[in-house]
Amino acid sequence: MVERLVDVPVAAVTVITADRQFFPGQVGLPEDLAASREMPLSLSLSRHVLEEGAALIIPDVREVPYMRDNQSIRDLGAIAFAGVPLTDSDGLILGTIAAMDQEPRVWTPSEIALLDQLAEVCSSELRLRIEREIAEEARRHAESAHDQISLLGELTETLSAPMALDESLGRLGQLVAGRLADWCLVALAEANGRVRHVSAAHSAPAYAQDAARLAELAVSAEPDLKALILKVQRTGGLIRRDAVDPSLLRDNLVTAELASTAERLGFGSFLIAPITAPVTRRILGALLLVNAPGKPPFGEAEEQTATEIGRRAGLAVDNSRLYRNQRHVAEVLQQSMLPDLPHIPGIDMYARYLPAQGANAEVGGDWYDAFAQPDDSVMLAVGDVSGHDIEAAATMGQVRNLVRGDAYGRQDDPGPLLAQLDRALHGLGVPAAATAVLARVRREAGHYHVAFANAGHPPPILLTPDGTIDVWWAPPEPLLGLLPREARTTHHRDVPPGSTLLLYTDGLVEHPARLIDEGIARIRGVLQGNAALPPEELCSRLIDSTSRRTDDIALLAVCLR
């Protein structure tokens, strides 16, 4: 991706140890290095990133005193160097993303920003792998106790399921209550100390309302929770009391109702386990386990299991944060590649892009575009590159730019233009499989003429001034990027002024459990009787009609005045 997006002959992902540099990923290295994937640290340019503790952007390494004698200048032809650090959750540098050119080069701000974004994604992946290894080690350590394994297995499944973090931690409490304690409370805090999550659960359904009320009271009595978490942070480990005098609650809690509710749930003995970030070991919150009076106190086995639960909960919290960061990077990258729509007299355009919803939703390759031609026609395009990750977003940018570069200034119909795009994707080695609709709009005497081609994409929809809704179904043709086709079909339509043309991606009309016909019918229902609405209002109503977005949506509405 670095080679493709930054346009350099040599690119590498490096991991640095005390005396070696390894290349988990590389393009352009000499055969011996590409085969061994390692080199002595003394020959590394990236080691200077580690020494400086920050990115190094060097137009010409021969002009840098501590780099100009490096053997890599001769072996790799590395003249210009840009190295961005890869870090773990503590901020320690693990390696770099490095881009090298074989001649002096002034790195642009956009290239440096892109390297920073890719380094953040790569760092997230490294952190996740470190954390997975830690979790696996913890799982092996707990194998001696069957009941603990059963509980921890269910807990891991719950915490890794695609749901919001608050819901996951709420289910954690429901699993623990009755298996490890009579009832429990889960609390998380932000880095600034502000409480961000509280949930409580009891093993007996009769106490469900009291447990829910306890969580509400704990949120309002934030000083008590902060004191609890601060005590765990100071201790750095478990806190255990085998017998609790009820007066302890009444004397140490802010509100009397909170104390009486905890006493009603039963407060005989307790165990507090820290919720710990797996890499940084920072204490993020606390898990309070409580048994009612008369129950045996907690033992060593419960302590070990509670510690492990705190670690796994911390892993879920950290993964949620890493996922949010990675998704944000992908969204920013994708949004940066979506164009500003042109202002064309007599044609009003409005576009929307929305990512999928859900805890495990990822950014995909949906895109739209519109640009004016020198002959006063207007090109419209909407497409969807397969995949849901940052690479799909980057590939989407390449495909969109190829469409623009190939179509601008040419009078070819959309069919031949898509066929040429297909050949370009294969000839340039762009790893894309994509659906797309490409259309050319011309103003003619008394009407508009629209020519369009469709490569495996949902059909355009036309809303005419009299309210007629015309779905432009066409015989299906394969996706772009699969097998190049010598020819693709161009379809022609005459459109009356005052019509609105809708181009969209499949997230608007498709659902895993339904046919596309149902989605088209829903769109018809939204458009019915709304021919006079401006395009932005139509877009909002169409998007609001989707009950839950399981896929990204790109939507382009074009009103032909």
Position 175 scores a pLDDT of: 85
Position 327 scores a pLDDT of: 58
pLDDT band at 146 (very low <50, low <70, confident <90, very high): low
Q: The pTM is what? A: 0.49
Dihedral angle over CA of 533, 534, 538, 540, nearest 10: -120
Please check whether residue 165 is in contact with residue 285, taking contact to mean a CB–CB distance below 8 angstroms: no
Classify 502 as helix, strand or coil.
strand
3-state secondary structure 38-85: EEEHHHCCCHHHHHHCCCEEECCHHHCCCCCCCCHHHHCCCCEEEEEE
Residue 12 pairs in a beta bridge with 26, 98
Span 303-322, average pLDDT = 82
Position 350 scores a pLDDT of: 92
CA distance 401 to 390: 17
Q: Which domains, from first to last, does the chain contain?
A: 2-130 (3.30.450.40), 142-325 (3.30.450.40), 338-560 (3.60.40.10)
Residue 346 pairs in a beta bridge with none
Span 511-516, average pLDDT = 75
CA distance 244 to 50: 52
Q: Could you read off the pLDDT of 242-278 as tens digits, one per residue?
A: 888 777 776 667 678 888 898 899 999 999 999 988 7
Kindly state the percentage of the chain with pLDDT values over 70.
89
Q: Could you read off the pLDDT of 531-554 as tens digits, one per residue?
A: 888 888 888 899 888 866 667 888
How do beta strands 183-189 and 283-291 pair? antiparallel
Position 76 scores a pLDDT of: 83
Spatial CB neighbours of 9, under 8 Å, sequence gap ≥ 6: 3, 28, 77, 100, 101, 102
Span 511-519, average pLDDT = 79
First-residue to last-residue Cα distance in the chain: 43
Position 62 scores a pLDDT of: 93
pLDDT band at 97 (very low <50, low <70, confident <90, very high): very high
Spatial CB neighbours of 160, under 8 Å, sequence gap ≥ 6: 316
Position 360 scores a pLDDT of: 46
Phi then psi for residue 175, to 5 deg, are -70, -40
Q: Could you read off the pLDDT of 400-447 as tens digits, one per residue?
A: 888 888 899 999 999 999 999 999 988 888 888 899 999 999 999 889
Position 96 scores a pLDDT of: 96
Position 87 scores a pLDDT of: 93
Output the six-digit token pair for 180: 């490890």
CA distance 72 to 265: 68
Q: Could you read off the pLDDT of 154-185 as tens digits, one per residue?
A: 777 766 655 567 887 888 888 888 888 999 99
Position 359 scores a pLDDT of: 43
Q: What does DSSP assign to residue 26? A: E
